[in-house]
Amino acid sequence: MLTVVAEICIKPGRRAAVLEAIERLIPLVLQEEGCGSYQALIDHKAQVPWKQHSPDSIFMVEHWESLRHLEQHQQADHMETHRAIIKDDVVDVKIFVLEPA
């Protein structure tokens, strides 16, 4: 099982709109073959000196059975549509594909 962590960097003030688009996308992704989980997370407001602050980011945490499944996910029609919907609100996307150590 692969774990994907994607940081979607959003233009200031547009996080709620992108989160709404992601909420509409989640049920479609969860139906994809090989998808174990697909969850959006946002920055927890905490005033501690060791914490990174990312108020304009959305973090996707995903679990996929294989790289093949992840690649199919990236090419799915609903993902193409989703990327087109949010493209004007997104500044950058950083994707990490991780495996157990």
The range of the structural domain enclosing residue 47 comes to: 2-98
CB distance 94 to 14 below 8 Å: no
Domain count, the chain: 1
Report the SS3 class of residue 27.
helix
> What CATH code is carried by the domain that includes residue 37?
3.30.70.100
Which residue did the predictor score with more confidence, 55 or 95?
A: 95
pLDDT band at 23 (very low <50, low <70, confident <90, very high): very high
pLDDT band at 49 (very low <50, low <70, confident <90, very high): confident
Answer whether residue 47 shows pLDDT above 90: no
| Residue 12 pLDDT | 96
Q: What is the pLDDT of residues 53-79, one digit of tens each?
A: 888 999 999 999 999 999 999 999 999
- With bands split at pLDDT 50, 70 and 90, how would you rate the model's confidence at 45? confident
Give the chain's length. 101
Cα distances (Å, whole numbers) of residue 23 to 2, 29, 81, 83: 22, 10, 14, 13
